């Protein structure tokens, strides 16, 4: 229990950990992904390259998900198909 309290205290004091107050009033702490923390804490060329690769993959996946969502939205007549999508 003491280690949990100490861990929570160090999280609260970290520069990169942000408190988030949920609608019910409880407080949680957002911790960025390790690769982001590694780059922010130690901004070397190597860590920058790792961060950029991670971010590129993350954006690629978001883009792929958005494309599928757009296809379904067109099929469901939620949005109209544009000329570039035909």
Going from the first residue of the chain to its last (86 residues), give the mean pLDDT of each consecutive group of 10, the final group possibly shorter: 51 79 94 94 97 98 97 88 65
Residues 29, 17 contacting (CB under 8 angstroms): yes
10: left (phi over 0), alpha (psi -120 to 50) or beta: alpha
What is the predicted pLDDT for the residue at 81? 74
Under DSSP, is residue 32 helix (H, G, I), strand (E, B) or coil?
Answer: coil
What is the predicted pLDDT for the residue at 5? 44
What is the predicted pLDDT for the residue at 4? 47
């Amino acid at each position: 229990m003491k280690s949990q309290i100490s861990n929570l205290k160090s999280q609260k004091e970290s520069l990169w950990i942000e408190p988030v107050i949920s609608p019910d009033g409880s407080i949680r702490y957002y911790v960025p992904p390790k690769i982001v923390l590694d780059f922010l804490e130690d901004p070397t060329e190597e860590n920058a390259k790792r961060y950029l690769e991670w971010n590129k993959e993350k954006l690629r996946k978001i883009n792929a998900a958005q494309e599928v969502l757009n296809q379904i939205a067109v099929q469901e007549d939620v949005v109209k198909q544009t000329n570039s999508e035909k």
